[in-house]
């Protein structure tokens, strides 16, 4: 017979990263998700609980292109829109049972104010002040995940950041 406390300490979270990518005529995009599984040591066996947490992990996209001198002028020389997303996951506090996970993200876009879901040419010509990378506050956030009912749940819903997290 094994020590139940030792068995409890041998429970682990295992992570894997799944990556997707696609090419566009004006560039390409890739994105990945982090998937965690829980490995539990039972009395005489091991049980794997798949997918106790799945969250966006990384995303990069470069889209649009200048096809004429007029496009170059309209875009102030910034012929590509660039989008970036990154995340990190850490233990928040030491507690009994499953840990509390702190998930933090940062999303950026260049030029400032662009969106993958809007026609950038419809907004009028870009200005010098637009030629900077800006952080998107809606998709740069922190959430705490707590374990309940077999999976981790965020303290608030995650925002829709598909423009950064899907290729």
Region 64-87: mean pLDDT is 92
Spatial contact of 122 and 111, defined as CB atoms under 8 Å apart: no
pTM for the whole thing? 0.87
pLDDT confidence of residue 1: 45
Higher pLDDT, 47 or 105: 105
pLDDT at 131 over 80: yes
At 89-128, the pLDDT tens digits run 999 876 677 889 999 999 999 999 999 888 777 788 999 9
Q: Write out the residue range of the structural domain in which residue 143 sits.
A: 4-165
Alpha-carbon distance of 160 to 162, in angstroms, equals: 6
As to burial, measured by CB atoms within 10 angstroms (0-12 exposed, 13-18 middle, 19+ buried), residue 108 is middle
Indicate the number of domains in the chain: 1
Higher pLDDT, 96 or 36: 36
Spatial contact of 31 and 165, defined as CB atoms under 8 Å apart: yes
Q: Are strands 142-148 and 151-154 parallel, antiparallel or unpaired?
A: antiparallel
Q: Among 40-54, 76-90, 98-112, 149-163, whose mean pLDDT is lowest?
A: 40-54
């Amino acid at each position: 017979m094994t020590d139940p406390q030792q068995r409890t300490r041998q429970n682990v979270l295992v992570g894997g990263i799944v990556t997707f990518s696609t090419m566009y005529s004006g560039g390409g995009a890739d994105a990945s998700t982090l998937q965690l599984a829980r490995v539990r040591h039972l009395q005489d066996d091991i049980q794997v609980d798949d997918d106790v947490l799945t969250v966006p992990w990384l995303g990069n996209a470069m889209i649009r292109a200048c096809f004429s001198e007029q496009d170059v002028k309209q875009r102030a020389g910034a012929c590509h829109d660039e989008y970036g997303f990154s995340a990190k996951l850490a233990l928040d506090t030491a507690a009994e049972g499953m840990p509390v996970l702190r998930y933090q993200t940062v999303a950026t876009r260049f030029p400032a104010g662009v969106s993958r879901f809007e026609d950038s040419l419809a907004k009028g010509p870009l200005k010098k002040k637009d030629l900077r990378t800006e952080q998107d506050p809606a998709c740069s956030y922190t959430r705490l995940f707590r374990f309940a009912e077999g999976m981790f749940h965020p303290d608030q819903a995650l925002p829709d950041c598909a423009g950064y997290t899907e290729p």
